[in-house]
Structure 1
């Protein structure tokens, strides 16, 4: 694991320490790693949404669409 030093103003340092205490993180580093993971997830989701938007016109999301979706889920054994 690599080490990275981050300088924070006192106000942000106090915020990080408060979040560590409040949410039961083991360390400041664990809290910051969690924030970075969330940002990675958010970035990936944004990219997927953009890809979907650029992929063209989708299906009409009417009652028939949702019924077909429910049927697929029932037949997949996921329900």
Structure 2
């Protein structure tokens, strides 16, 4: 579990990322990270104010399927 503070970020190396707020969540995966460079280059978007950024990184174009699914939160039921 990682608290996502505004302006922060994390490189997600493998597995499935589940992000939640309140009773709602989203799962993203499978995750991957070939490197830890997140400074925003080669047309990538920079970090946005008021948001926490999760990075899936590769050295070049890739052929992967990433699934996004709505899930209930397991941690924050407020």
Question: Same fold by TM-score, threshold 0.5 exceeded?
Answer: no
User: Which structure's residues are more often helix, by fraction?
Assistant: 1
User: Which structure's residues are more often strand, by fraction?
Assistant: 2
Higher normalized contact order (CA 8 Å, seq sep 6+, divided by chain length): 2
Scaled to the shorter chain, the TM-score interval is under 0.3
With structure 2 as the length reference, what TM-score do the two structures score? 0.18
With structure 1 as the length reference, what TM-score do the two structures score? 0.18
Which protein is bigger by CA-based radius of gyration?
A: 1
